Structure 1
């Protein structure tokens, strides 16, 4: 992030604008609509601007003379649009005076840029691409425009007018935040968004005990809870809406090693983030210690998110954590996530079931060879069963040995799918007999193994066969 989004107080002083043509007039309309005082040097001498009402037009002072010698005292920012060679020169003057400056379409001479803006009164959303692609910023703005309620600015104003009086009744900051979250997400917020502010006002005034409304216990402390959230296999766009909401509400997030930074970035900015996971072969703090951390955080009144790669209930020890929370009397909820097996199936087009070919699926885990040795492979010999092995890279030799000894054909299609849904995802496909070699073709995990005829329907299998066919044709042509 090269440009930090900030909001400029346009009541603090005039904005000095230099330029001519349609480009500068578009910026003038934007600034005037935002209530700015404007001092405009029209470099072509034409100060006419259409589309402004009388109030907005009155905010524009028509400046004369050379902008390069203009008095910059009191000016809060400098904008050049359609200014030609004057733009870079004005940039030098503005920087020397310590003023933010924008020279349109010139990042070298700009210290700030204009974002795409969604304006809902007191709610303003700015979308930027660091100047790289205004078209992309506009497309994002259009989507946000479609999502945001028309009266969201009215809701912000409604709360803003009542914050001080309500905060006197709720001295504890954490409870205050929860109080307003319940207002925004509940019936009162819905009334404001429906244009029924008077009814919303009556409902707010009728709250006799704001602390209880916010979820405080009898002792006055906030009531904590734990939400187990499945983070999915890696792609942050695969998070559910419910998972995003939990991350935005969290006071503290305890996360596994395999949770990507992009997913952690979806958590509330001021939430504490505590790593509690481990990778294969590396020590972790242990499940008992994790359970104690979750319970202690919830008992202190915090909203806790336990963030796990994939799904909490598929080899994620979510069941153990739920039992510990239940025994401790901690309120909890569970948000499912897309498990890695399904992520691989979608990304690499591996149909885990296929009519007449694969009627059953077995999911199992094999961190190491000793795990594979404890599996009863005799139950996995059905040719119409797809076997999905989690964390099986280091146990590939034992997995192969177990399935072959149980009677699965060495020519059974098999695949290794690594870092599924991540930008650097990889796949290697072949036969069960080649499984350890397939693992060797992967640049590192996490990875899952899929064994069964369905692998022959996957995109990597098709591509591999096509490449082999092309190679044979080329050899024959030679």
Structure 2
């Protein structure tokens, strides 16, 4: 280890910056965030520094550097383009056993600035010991994406409970188990969802009854298939799950991202195959959450768009189980985007309607007259089995039989297939299409050949993908 990683308390401590340019500004920003008193030595200040000096945020200490200026400071940073001056500052600091940093000159640094992930009071620092700062920055970017933005708030609340926990649990092992349960359970989820009052109540309840671990249900939209379309929040949740109940529409690529030791239960529904009833899914959700588990209900697309997510959460409410929702990219948005079919376009469609071809058997019929209007896009989920009826009804209610249509199969996945044609041939297209498939009806389909970027990429990389036109 070339450097000892330490976190220094520089609040209200004077730090000397020699240099008044853009490089100095970057260092000063970090120092100010850490609460330091910043003293600047420079013949002139760049505009950003002049603004800070005018506000009294930094002090323009002197125009020229003198070694005596180091006698009163905690740290010194040399941020000039004068190599001889930087060397002299470092030498003067070393004589005084003072930590110094010469910007972009690793051998002349007794301390270095790491790449920082700031979730104050949680702070993660990454360093390559000055050998590969770009690599350290790239790693920081990856961690920024993985670490929830609420970590700081979670840590701050935990800090307020430390004394209570110490009083409640005499052994360190007991305290560790308490915090592990809190940071991996309902408390963490409530902070993430903004329910700070509920999170505090959960800590109090766990302190009083540490053996009573309350479970929760988290409804997560997995998107239409491509694992890259899973939201960041969705990724974080499935990697913290105790058990995952998933549908057939969830792709293997998304399932591979689930925490390795989480229990996985398929509760999918598929025509002419073994299916789990909705009532059984409800029973499982309540049973598993009542056992104190973090239960993730992972659904293809978005759980609130033809996904029965609302019904499942109503069951959670009735059972008194805490829950939250992580939206997903719905098939109509994801599959059409990958097929190069904009849902709306000012020259072709001013509105888009999402419709299910598989409604309740006792429900009202479709408003075919409204659906048949021109210059609108229809995105129809689960419509392949009723494609003939859909086509006939739209045409009989006034939609042109030559209206462009597309059937997008397995949208956004490596084997995506797009069949295009006209409304009068919709049933034939649907019969040829692998499932799951989305029906798209409207003039915007004509843009597919021009904008089908994913199809083009698939052909170039050898993916199994097809574009078929049936006019």
Judged with a 3 Å threshold, the aligned counterparts in structure 2 of structure 1 residues 448 and 369 are, in CA distance, closer, same or farther, namely farther
Judged with a 3 Å threshold, the aligned counterparts in structure 2 of structure 1 residues 462 and 278 are, in CA distance, closer, same or farther, namely closer
Aligned ranges 1:159-198 → 2 under 5 Å:
166-169=172-175, 177-181=180-184
For the pair 1:384 / 2:375, whether they are aligned, the reply is: yes
For the pair 1:399 / 2:390, whether they are aligned, the reply is: yes
In 1, distance between residues paired with 2:294 and 2:380?
A: 34
SS at match of 1:438: helix
Equivalent in the alignment of 2:55: none
Q: Is 1:412–1:453's contact at 8 Å kept on the other side of the alignment?
A: yes
Instruction: Measure how far apart 1:435 and its partner are.
Output: 1.0
Q: TM-score under structure 2 normalisation? A: 0.56
Partner residue of 1:289 out of 270, 280, 283: 280
Aligned ranges 1:32-431 → 2 under 5 Å:
143-148=138-143, 166-169=172-175, 177-181=180-184, 212=203, 215=206, 218=209, 220-367=211-358, 374-431=365-422
Instruction: Measure how far apart 1:298 and its partner are.
Output: 1.2
Judged with a 3 Å threshold, the aligned counterparts in structure 2 of structure 1 residues 233 and 299 are, in CA distance, closer, same or farther, namely same
Q: Is 1:358–1:384's contact at 8 Å kept on the other side of the alignment?
A: yes
Q: Is 2:341–2:452's contact at 8 Å kept on the other side of the alignment?
A: no
Q: Is 1:179–1:214's contact at 8 Å kept on the other side of the alignment?
A: no
In 2, distance between residues paired with 1:371 and 1:424?
A: 36
SS at match of 1:458: helix
Q: Is 2:182–2:188's contact at 8 Å kept on the other side of the alignment?
A: no
Cα deviations by residue, 1:377-415 (Å, 9 ceiling, x for unpaired): 222121022111111122211111111121211000100
In 1, distance between residues paired with 2:421 and 2:228?
A: 30
Q: Is 2:373–2:398's contact at 8 Å kept on the other side of the alignment?
A: no
For the pair 1:456 / 2:437, whether they are aligned, the reply is: no
Instruction: Measure how far apart 1:185 and its partner are.
Output: 7.4
In 1, distance between residues paired with 2:237 and 2:216?
A: 11
Judged with a 3 Å threshold, the aligned counterparts in structure 2 of structure 1 residues 402 and 181 are, in CA distance, closer, same or farther, namely same
Cα deviations by residue, 1:43-69 (Å, 9 ceiling, x for unpaired): xxxxxxxxxxxxxxxxxxxxxxxxxxx
In 2, distance between residues paired with 1:249 and 1:264?
A: 13
In 1, distance between residues paired with 2:208 and 2:409?
A: 46
Instruction: Measure how far apart 1:248 and its partner are.
Output: 1.5
Judged with a 3 Å threshold, the aligned counterparts in structure 2 of structure 1 residues 285 and 230 are, in CA distance, closer, same or farther, namely same
In 2, distance between residues paired with 1:178 and 1:325?
A: 22
For the pair 1:434 / 2:425, whether they are aligned, the reply is: yes
Instruction: Measure how far apart 1:145 and its partner are.
Output: 4.6
In 1, distance between residues paired with 2:355 and 2:349?
A: 17
Instruction: Measure how far apart 1:211 and its partner are.
Output: 9.2
Q: Is 2:340–2:451's contact at 8 Å kept on the other side of the alignment?
A: no
Q: What is the aligned residue count?
A: 304
Equivalent in the alignment of 1:475: none
Partner residue of 1:445 out of 435, 443, 450: 435
Unaligned runs of 5+ in 2: 4-114, 118-123, 127-133, 148-154, 156-165, 190-199, 454-471
Calculate the aligned-residue CA RMSD, in Å. 4.3
Q: Is 1:366–1:395's contact at 8 Å kept on the other side of the alignment?
A: yes
Instruction: Measure how far apart 1:454 and its partner are.
Output: 1.0
Judged with a 3 Å threshold, the aligned counterparts in structure 2 of structure 1 residues 369 and 290 are, in CA distance, closer, same or farther, namely closer
SS at match of 1:168: helix
In 2, distance between residues paired with 1:371 and 1:446?
A: 24
In 2, distance between residues paired with 1:326 and 1:262?
A: 31
Instruction: Measure how far apart 1:142 and its partner are.
Output: 7.0
SS at match of 1:415: strand
Cα deviations by residue, 1:180-202 (Å, 9 ceiling, x for unpaired): 558x979xxxxxxxxxxxxxxxx
Instruction: Measure how far apart 1:176 and its partner are.
Output: 5.2
Cα deviations by residue, 1:230-270 (Å, 9 ceiling, x for unpaired): 00000111111111111112111100011112111212211
In 2, distance between residues paired with 1:247 and 1:320?
A: 21
In 2, distance between residues paired with 1:395 and 1:369?
A: 14
In 2, distance between residues paired with 1:251 and 1:341?
A: 30
In 2, distance between residues paired with 1:414 and 1:236?
A: 27
Instruction: Measure how far apart 1:144 and its partner are.
Output: 2.8
Instruction: Measure how far apart 1:448 and its partner are.
Output: 0.3
